[in-house]
Amino acid sequence: MTTRLVTMDGNDSLTAAAQEMRDSAIGDVVVTDGDNVVGIVTDRDITVRAVAQSMDPGTTRLNQIISRDVVTVSQNDDAVAAADLMRTYAVRRLPVVDDGRLVGLVSMGDLAVEREPQSVLADISADDPNN
């Protein structure tokens, strides 16, 4: 799990999110409303759901393209439970919550490092960002 999270408000622009992703060397931001997780936006979402649809990244808001059906995992759940949720819901990232409060994010890469450290995905995920 990573605890180096970037959260943004749903009214923030896609440009702001893309800049934050670039500056933080990450591929997603968790969209929150106060302490509540309301969605996730990935760099791919910005490209496929917005730019490819000719939406203006400067005026389009995260709320317009977020994935709203967020599946979360408890910080007390193990890697097997997280992997099962990812498989069941076909997601690559799970916000980690503790009493409803966002405390981290677990990705497929995190699980690969934990469960299959010799895999190619684990090697890529454990390496420093190259962007």
Angle at CA of residue 30, ends 29 and 35, nearest 5°: 145
Q: What is the pLDDT of residue 119?
A: 46
The pLDDT tens digits for 20-66 are 999 998 889 999 988 889 999 999 999 999 999 999 999 999 999 99
CATH 3.10.580.10 describes domain 7-126: yes
The pLDDT tens digits for 53-108 are 999 999 999 999 998 889 999 989 988 898 899 899 988 889 999 887 899 999 88
pLDDT reading at 112 higher than 60: yes
Is the pTM higher than 0.85? The answer reads no
Q: What is the pLDDT of residue 54?
A: 97
Could you list the beta-strand ranges (E) of the chain: 7-9, 28-33, 36-42, 73-74, 93-98, 101-107
